[in-house]
Amino acid sequence: MDNLSRTALSALTGCGEGQLLQFEAAGIIERKTDYLLEDADRIRVALALHEAGIPLDTLAKAIRNKVFSLDFASQIMFDPVYLSTTSMEGELDGLDVTPIALNNLRAAAGLPRLSTGQVLREDDVELLKLIAECRRLGISDLAMTRVLRAFGQSTHRVVETMRDLFRSEVEERMLNAGISHSQMLSAAAAKRLELQRIGFRVLFMLQRRLLEESVFDNIVSRIQEALFESGLETGPDVDLPTVAFADLCGFTELTHELGDMKAAEQAAHFEAFAQQIVSHVGGRLVKVLGDGVMVLFPEPTSGLTACLTLVESAEKAGLLPVRVGLVTGQVVPRDGDIFGQTVNLAARITSVANPAQVVVSESAMVAVATSNPGMFNFAALEPTVLKGLPGRFCLFSADIASSYES
C-alpha cells in the first residue's frame, strides 16, 4: 500500500488533513505528493503522544534537538492494524447484531465502545464478522460474553507480561549500558518485532496444545457417559478433584520492609515456583491471588505430595515460608475458574494454617489414607471454627511418612 495520497493517509490514521499539515510543519513527516505506510506509522505514534498530553510544539522541539526521532515507528508491530473505510452502521447492515449487543460483547473483552458514525479499525471489522459467524453457528450472546471475558482477561495479562519483559530484558539493559533513550528506541525496534513474532507463535502453540488436551478429555468423558447409559460400561471410578490454596507468610511485612518492587518480585518468584511443582504432578494453577495461588489437582494424593514439596522447598528457593489449605471434593468449573464449597473451605483452611504447614480437610485425609495407607502422617487438630462457615471442622496437619521420604 505504497504511494498513498494525503486523503488515503488521513483515512488510514484518522488524522485530519489539517493536523497532517501541522505534523509536516513539526518535522514528524516530510511534505510530499505520495506517502508511504511508514508515514502512517509515524503519524500514529505522534497521535498517541498527543493524546498522552504532549504538546505538538514540545514534540517538534524534541525532534529538532535530536532528543529522539520517530524513525523506529515502522517497527512497532509486525502486523500493524489501520483504520478501515467503514463505520459500525455500515458493517452491521444486513447482520443480526445490534449496536448495543456489539458494544456489550466488546466490553466483555475489555475493548472500548464504538460510537455512531465512528470509523472502525480493521480488527474491529474482523471481530464483528466473527461475532456474526458465531451467532450463525447457534452460539448465544451470553456464551460469547463468557468467552470474550475470559479471552480478554487472560490476554491482557499475557500482553502486559510481554511488555514488562521487553522493558526489563531489552530496554533497561540498553539504558543501563549507557546509551541514550533515542538510541535505545532505534536499537530496540528490530528486537521488538522478532520477539513479538516469537511471542505470538508460542502463545498460539500453547493455546492449540492445551485446547487439544481439553477437547480430548471432554470427548472421552462424553463417550464414557454414553457407554454407561447404554449399559456397556460401569460408572467410572473417578478420584475427586482436590483444591489447594497456598500463600506466603509475612508478605505484608516484607512489602513494608523492602518496598513494593521487591515484594512483587517475591510474589512472581513464588508463582513460577508453584507452577513448576504443580504441573509436575498434573495439577493446574487456576489463578494468582497477590501473594498466593489457587491450585486444582485431579486427585488428592498427587495434590498433597505437591503441596508438601512446595512447603518444604520454599526456603531453599529463597521464598518466605508457605502455608497451604487443601480440600478434596466436587468443584464447579466455569470459564477457566472453579467455584463451590470445596473452594471456599480450602481458602478458609489456609487462613488457619501456620507457616510451613499443610492443613487438610477430613475428606482429603480419608481419601489419601484410603488410597495410599502409610504414605502420610496426619495429626488431628482441635475442631476449628472457620470464618463465614457454620460449625466446627475436623482438620489435620499433614507430613510425608519417613518411610516414603526420598
pLDDT, position 406 = 53
CA atoms within 13 A on the CB side of 83: 20
- Confidence band (pLDDT; 50, 70, 90) for 235? low
Of residues 3 and 104, the one with the higher pLDDT is 104
Given a cut of 90, whether residue 36 has pLDDT beyond it is no
Average pLDDT, the chain: 89
Residue-wise pLDDT for 346-368, tens only, equals 999 999 999 999 999 999 999 99
SS3 326: strand
Count CB neighbours of 175 within 10 A.
15
Query: How far is Cα 358 from Cα 244, in angstroms, rounded to an integer?
Result: 10
DSSP 345-391: HHHHHHHHPPTT-EEEEHHHHHHHHHHSTTSEEEEEPPPEE-TTS-S
Query: How far is Cα 31 from Cα 250, in angstroms, rounded to an integer?
Result: 61
pLDDT, position 79 = 82
- Confidence band (pLDDT; 50, 70, 90) for 142? very high
Pick the CATH number of 242-404 from 3.30.300.280, 2.160.20.10, 3.40.50.280, 3.30.70.1230: 3.30.70.1230
What residue ranges do the domains of the chain occupy?
Answer: 6-75, 83-213, 242-404
Residue of 317, 316, 304 whose CA lies nearest to 349: 304
Residue of 368, 362, 401, 374 whose CA lies nearest to 301: 368
Per the listing, cell 502455608 goes with 323
pLDDT, position 163 = 92
How many contiguous H segments (helices) and E segments (strands) does the chain have? 15, 13
Given a cut of 70, whether residue 238 has pLDDT beyond it is no
Measured CA to CA in angstroms, residue 73 lies from 13, 69, 80, 137 at distances of 13, 9, 11, 40
DSSP 223-283: HHHHHHHTTSSPPP-PPPPEEEEEEETTHHHHHHHH-HHHHHHHHHHHHHHHHHHHHHTT-
Query: How far is Cα 393 from Cα 344, in angstroms, rounded to an integer?
Result: 13
Contact (CB, 8 A) for 6 and 41: no
Residue-wise pLDDT for 43-70, tens only, equals 888 888 888 888 888 888 888 888 888 8
Given a cut of 70, whether residue 234 has pLDDT beyond it is no
pLDDT, position 2 = 64
pTM over 0.75: no
Residue-wise pLDDT for 384-403, tens only, equals 999 888 889 999 999 988 76
Alpha helices in 26-83 (DSSP H): 37-51, 56-64
Mean pLDDT of 95-119: 91
Q: What is the dihedral of CA 34, 40, 42, 45, to 10 degrees?
A: 160
The one-letter amino acid at 168: S
Per the listing, cell 513527516 goes with 29
- Confidence band (pLDDT; 50, 70, 90) for 233? low
